[in-house]
Amino acid sequence: MSALICAAIAVVSLLLVGLLWPYSAVSYPDGNVGTVEPPTVGQGGSITVTYPRFCNSGQDVLIDRWADVLVDGQVVAAFALPAVEFFPTKPLGCVGPIEQTVSLPNYVVGAQNQDTTFRLRLVTTYKPNPIRTVRVESFTEPFVIRAN
């Protein structure tokens, strides 16, 4: 009976460690909202997104990207952008500020080809161990896409 209890404690302990460790291997310690330049861009244009700091302890990450349509500050639709995957060969630690240039596809435009407010939403997914998947979301400040 004691062997069964010890085995149960061991299994529960392994599950807890798997579900909690490592706690925050990928993060935006100075905030997960990036600035955007320029604040207004033409359809199919490029923006530069800057985050204060990004930390990665060496995790492979998949970044799903979305262009959210904002109306009165609320998300009413989202355009899927191509995902990006990174496979670091060593722990990166923290870097910042980190700048990324994002080319927006021509199909990212407002209804009836009107100027529309957008924001980028990045969902970074990583697996720190075999039983845990972690999602970290980050956003940009709102920006306007002018229709052509």
What pLDDT score was predicted for residue 3?
Answer: 77
Distance of CA 4 to the CA centre of its chain: 43
Helix (H, G, I), strand (E, B) or coil at 64: strand
pLDDT tens digits for 5-59?
A: 776 676 666 666 655 555 668 899 999 999 999 999 999 999 999 999 999 988 9
CA nearest to 98, candidates 144, 4, 32, 21: 32
Q: Measure the CA angle with vertex 67, ends 112 and 135; round to 5°.
A: 155
The rounded distance, in Å, linking the Cα atoms of 98 and 82 is: 20
pTM to 2 decimals? 0.81
Distance CA 19, CA 25 (A): 13
Residue 65 pLDDT > 60: yes
| Domain 24-146 classification at class level | mainly beta
- Kindly state the average pLDDT of the residues 124-132: 88
Angstrom distances, CA of residue 106 to CA of 31, 43, 115:
30, 6, 13
Percentage, residues of the chain above pLDDT 70: 89
Pairing of strands 143-146, 40-42: parallel
